[in-house]
Homo-oligomer: A and B are copies of this chain.
Amino acid sequence: MIAMTRGVPAPESFPIDEIIPAFEKAMREDGRKALGYVASPGYMPLIELIAEREGVSPDHILIGNSSLEFIQFITMTEAEPGERVFAESPSYDRVNLLFRRRGLNAVGIPLEIDGVDMNCFEDELKKGAPKFFYTVDDFQNPMGVTVSLEKRKRIVELAGKYNFMILEDVPYRELRYSGEDLPTMYSMDPEHVVKMSSFSKTLAPGMRLGYLNGPADFIARVKTWAGNSYIGPVSPTQALLYQFIKMGYYEPNLVKLKDLYRPRMEKAIEILEKELPGAVFPRPEGGFFIGVTLPEGNDMAELIPAAKEAGVLITDGRGFYLNPDDGKRFLRVPFCGLTPEELEAAFALLLPLIKK
């Protein structure tokens, strides 16, 4: 069975030989602090290091057990049930679920090749500003698209005009395999944007180490909620990450990851272009995913069991849409967790089942 399901990093990419000495150094140098209660916002040496990398003061940074959980906290501190929030459509399925769990009125804005459809976005704004807009603007999950500079500017402008927050989730940003970085929305208006990221894709997801960079008052609210929920995030892993970066392991690991993932992305694009000319999909320049809209006549309800029967697990595309029916032809191809050979093998099993 080949699992073309979750967006998981390649297990062979985990830098175990660097993680072990980083942990030992963390424990030898500061074990008594790192093993004790480390209350929210987190382990101060790491907070300061992230703040320095982000170019902000430490009171703008909050560390937690995954950035997903931060989104959950934010649904509690920043919005009441019934209030409007905006998301891209499709969007990260787990975030859609947290919006539903909180009873938010989540509005999905259709995603185009260069970001959300701005006409729809502005029409929805006129109906009522959201509490926040959730966007993965670099190599989006599940589509793989990157928001254009023009749209970034316009969205930020609208956030100022209509006074809503942008949750800019950038876990894939550092994994660019071609092309040039665009400025973050955060860099354009740090008063209306909370940038969030994690080390799940750039180091190891089991660390569950996410962070926020946002306005101090916003951070203070989420910090209090987080602290009341669990006192503080798990700290030995924070001390490990601090040493991992200080020892100079982080940047070379990024290079290694990009060299590992680039050919996987290229292989996936190559197969799709050759074998599924009738499908619609972006050509990502980084990240983990290519979102494929299959030709008319395909239906996830049939494809998932047939694929499983053939030996491939695929994710139900409907989960990425606030209106599930919109995703019945949507196939997310997560290319990072599979080698080029495994991608070929998976598609060899899957393609005969797809109506072209």
Residues of A within 8 A of B (CB): 6, 8-9, 11-12, 14, 16, 19-20, 23-24, 27-28, 31-38, 65-66, 68-69, 72, 94, 97-98, 101, 204-209, 228-237, 240
Q: Report chain B residues within 8 Å CB of A94.
A: 228, 231
Contact present for A206 and B38 (CB under 8 Å)? yes
Contact present for A65 and B228 (CB under 8 Å)? no
Indicate which residue in B6, B35, B98, B230 contacts A207 across the interface (CB closer than 8 Å). Answer: B35
Residue of chain B at shortest CB distance from A38: B206
Indicate which residue in B35, B101, B230 contacts A66 across the interface (CB closer than 8 Å). Answer: B230
Give the complex CA separation of A72 and B69 in angstroms: 13
Contact present for A32 and B20 (CB under 8 Å)? no
Contact present for A207 and B229 (CB under 8 Å)? no
Interface centre among A97, A209, A234 (most CB of B within 10 A): A234
Q: Report chain B residues within 8 Å CB of A207.
A: 35, 234-236
Contact present for A206 and B37 (CB under 8 Å)? yes
Give the complex CA separation of A205 and B19 in angstroms: 21
Residue of chain B at shortest CB distance from A35: B204
Q: Report chain B residues within 8 Å CB of A16.
A: 27-28, 31-32, 35
Contact present for B35 and A24 (CB under 8 Å)? no
Q: Report chain B residues within 8 Å CB of A206.
A: 34-38, 232, 234-236
Contact present for B37 and A231 (CB under 8 Å)? no
So how many copies of this chain end up in the complex?
Answer: 2
CB distance from A37 to the nearest CB of B (A): 5
CB distance from A148 to the nearest CB of B (A): 31
Residue of chain B at shortest CB distance from A204: B35
Give the complex CA separation of A154 and B292 in angstroms: 61
Give the complex CA separation of A19 and B207 in angstroms: 17
Give the complex CA separation of A124 and B97 in angstroms: 38
Contact present for A205 and B36 (CB under 8 Å)? yes
Contact present for B229 and A72 (CB under 8 Å)? yes
Indicate which residue in B9, B19, B38 contacts A36 across the interface (CB closer than 8 Å). Answer: B9
22 A-B residue pairings within 8 Å (CB atoms): A8-B37, A11-B32, A11-B33, A14-B31, A14-B35, A16-B28, A16-B31, A20-B24, A20-B28, A23-B24, A34-B206, A35-B207, A36-B204, A65-B230, A65-B233, A66-B231, A68-B230, A69-B229, A204-B236, A206-B236, A208-B231, A208-B234
CB distance from A32 to the nearest CB of B (A): 4
Q: Report chain B residues within 8 Å CB of A6.
A: 37
Give the complex CA separation of A207 and B237 in angstroms: 9
CB distance from A208 to the nearest CB of B (A): 5
Q: Given A65-B234, A72-B229, A233-B208: A11 and B24 within 8 A (CB)?
A: no
Indicate which residue in B19, B23, B33 contacts A20 across the interface (CB closer than 8 Å). Answer: B23
Q: Report chain B residues within 8 Å CB of A228.
A: 94, 97-98, 101
CB distance from A165 to the nearest CB of B (A): 21
Q: Report chain B residues within 8 Å CB of A36.
A: 8-9, 11, 14, 204-206
Given A72-B230, A94-B231; 5 other pairs, CB 8 A cutoff: A14-B32, A16-B31, A36-B206, A98-B229, A234-B234
